Structure 1
Amino acid sequence: MEFVLLGFSDTPNLQWILFGVFLLIYLTILVCNSLIILITQIDPALHTPMYYFLGNFSFLEICYVTVTFPRMLMDLWTQKGHILFLTCATQMYFFLMLGATECLLLAVMAYDCYVAICNPLHYALVMNHKVCSQLVAASWITAVPLAIGHTYQIFSLPFCASHTINHFFCDIPPILKLACGDTFVNEIVVYVVAVVFIMVPFLLIVVSYGKIISNILKLSSARGRSKAFSTCSSHLTVVVLFYGTATITYLQPKSDQSEGMGKLFSLFYAILTPTLNPIIYTLRNKDILMALRKLLAKVSA
């Protein structure tokens, strides 16, 4: 059995333009995140917990976009959207696993900011290399059973109606719309999992930033406050972008979400946010910019 991904077939005159735009975006994401990984590895000044997490986050972003982009580009190129049942399930599994890992890793990065600003004297002790590695590993491993269970639950449903998915990848809301019978229990499971893996990490991030902001306001020096806030402002911007669109997509009732709006929000968290993330981290971070200049100087020498 197979599904048909409609993708952007409702705009046939723009297929080749979209292919060029999305290919450029995909290559930009790959190059920018690869550069961040490279400089965090080779520059000794960036061998700190914050940049260790950033390097892992960049690797995660490369994996995250690779789940959807190549398939979407192929469908635009061939103007066919046929996808096998098993391939669709595999794509959903990796998308859910990597998305949940991103939620958890963003919470870990918020905790790192909290320790750096609110407990600086014990920062090196608390955020040692072993702890950092364990936090990253836990973020990846915890997401695996969630993705397996969720994917199995969705694809165990009977699909006896249309097999046409009005989307550009196999996401939960459009797949649920194709299922026969009552999907109320499945929707409840989606909400519960979304609350656990989206809202709980988000609440941890909110608590961390509440304490961070409270601590920053207590600083007497305006320069100190500016430096402290700039340390975490990039991360906070990424959190707002990612969580805003993901929350709207997965916590909104299926009946209230139009297919067009669902596709639009998916474009934000699956494409636009990963595109903006490396730009946000590089443009707002002096250490990253300095490391990039060093690297370019070595390459051009």
Structure 2
Amino acid sequence: LHYGIIMGSRACIQMAAAAWASGFLYALLHTANTFSIPLCQGNTVDQFFCEIPQILKLSCSDAYLRELGLIVVSACLFFGCFVFIVLSYVQIFTAVLRIPSEQGRHKAFSMCLPHLAVVSLFVSTGTFACLKPPSISSPALDLVVAVLYSVVPPAVNPLIYSMRNKELKEAVKKLIQRVQGQHQ
């Protein structure tokens, strides 16, 4: 995967700028919407951060149209990102499968699969948080789901990537063997 040759600095700058700009505009949209909602049920949320569904529960106005608009924008942005990620992985896997040596394919897959695992973890937990039916919603479940998609992927990310390190793999194997030896 000749990343340095295929991806010039201009393409990297454009992709980073697009990601930052879309993230900023998306956050600005949610912030403006949140600050325009009148709150009449106090200002305490049942989360460790101000998640939008929790703020909407405190609103004394019918925020249905606002929420519907945000859902449409969010769905479009999510779908665009998802399509971009899928197309990128299709191209990556197509290029990897064309590598003639099995060792080269193995090395390339070992670089790609940890990223795919972290992205899948984030997307699946975030999707569940957004699409879970209100009938199963409870403050405790909402808190667990919020932790799953906001804390677990960033916390697991370094661990997944560091598992490519041979010394760390050996240390984990020794630790597992030691724990298994103590239980027997």
TM-score, normalised via structure 2 length? 0.77
Instruction: Give the Cα separation in 1 of the matches to 2:31 and 2:153.
Output: 24
CA-CA distance at 1:269 after TM superposition:
1.9
- Are residues 243 and 228 of structure 1, via their aligned partners in 2, closer, same or farther at CA, if it must alter by over 3 Å? same
Runs of 4+ in 1 over 6 A off after TM superposition: none
Instruction: Give the Cα separation in 2 of the matches to 1:149 and 1:253.
Output: 24
- Are residues 124 and 217 of structure 1, via their aligned partners in 2, closer, same or farther at CA, if it must alter by over 3 Å? closer
Residue 282 of structure 1 corresponds to 162
Relative contact order, higher structure (CA 8 A, sep 6+)? 1
Does residue 149 in structure 1 map to residue 3 in structure 2?
no
Match of 1:191 among 52, 71, 88: 71
- Are residues 150 and 253 of structure 1, via their aligned partners in 2, closer, same or farther at CA, if it must alter by over 3 Å? farther
Instruction: Give the Cα separation in 1 of the matches to 2:66 and 2:79.
Output: 19
Residue 271 of structure 1 corresponds to 151
Instruction: Give the Cα separation in 2 of the matches to 1:250 and 1:285.
Output: 35
CA-CA distance at 1:174 after TM superposition:
0.8
Match of 1:166 among 46, 50, 59: 46
Instruction: Give the Cα separation in 2 of the matches to 1:220 and 1:245.
Output: 36
Instruction: Give the Cα separation in 1 of the matches to 2:143 and 2:78.
Output: 19
Gaps in structure 2 of 5+ consecutive residues: 169-184
Instruction: Give the Cα separation in 1 of the matches to 2:54 and 2:63.
Output: 13
After TM superposition, the structure 1 = structure 2 runs for residues 234-245 of structure 1, keeping only pairs within 5 Å, are 234-245=114-125
- Are residues 158 and 254 of structure 1, via their aligned partners in 2, closer, same or farther at CA, if it must alter by over 3 Å? farther
AA aligned to 2:115 is: H
1:93-124 per-residue CA deviation (whole Å, 9 max, x = no partner) reads xxxxxxxxxxxxxxxxxxxxxxx3xxx4xx43
- Are residues 191 and 249 of structure 1, via their aligned partners in 2, closer, same or farther at CA, if it must alter by over 3 Å? same
AA aligned to 1:189 is: G
Instruction: Give the Cα separation in 1 of the matches to 2:59 and 2:134.
Output: 12
Residue 233 of structure 1 corresponds to 113
| Aligned partners of 1:249 and 1:266 also within 8 Å | yes
Does residue 207 in structure 1 map to residue 81 in structure 2?
no
Task: Percent identity, please.
Answer: 40
| Aligned partners of 1:245 and 1:265 also within 8 Å | yes
| Aligned partners of 1:234 and 1:281 also within 8 Å | yes
1:9-62 per-residue CA deviation (whole Å, 9 max, x = no partner) reads xxxxxxxxxxxxxxxxxxxxxxxxxxxxxxxxxxxxxxxxxxxxxxxxxxxxxx
CA-CA distance at 1:285 after TM superposition:
5.2
Question: 3-state SS of the aligned residue for 2:151?
Answer: helix
Question: 3-state SS of the aligned residue for 2:59?
Answer: coil
- Are residues 271 and 127 of structure 1, via their aligned partners in 2, closer, same or farther at CA, if it must alter by over 3 Å? same
CA-CA distance at 1:180 after TM superposition:
1.7
CA-CA distance at 1:284 after TM superposition:
2.2
Instruction: Give the Cα separation in 2 of the matches to 1:170 and 1:219.
Output: 47
Instruction: Give the Cα separation in 1 of the matches to 2:131 and 2:70.
Output: 8
CA-CA distance at 1:220 after TM superposition:
4.5
Match of 2:96 among 187, 194, 216: 216
- Are residues 189 and 285 of structure 1, via their aligned partners in 2, closer, same or farther at CA, if it must alter by over 3 Å? farther
After TM superposition, the structure 1 = structure 2 runs for residues 78-117 of structure 1, keeping only pairs within 5 Å, are 116=1
| Aligned partners of 1:174 and 1:259 also within 8 Å | no
Gaps in structure 1 of 5+ consecutive residues: 1-115, 290-301
Residue 130 of structure 1 corresponds to 10
CA-CA distance at 1:178 after TM superposition:
1.3
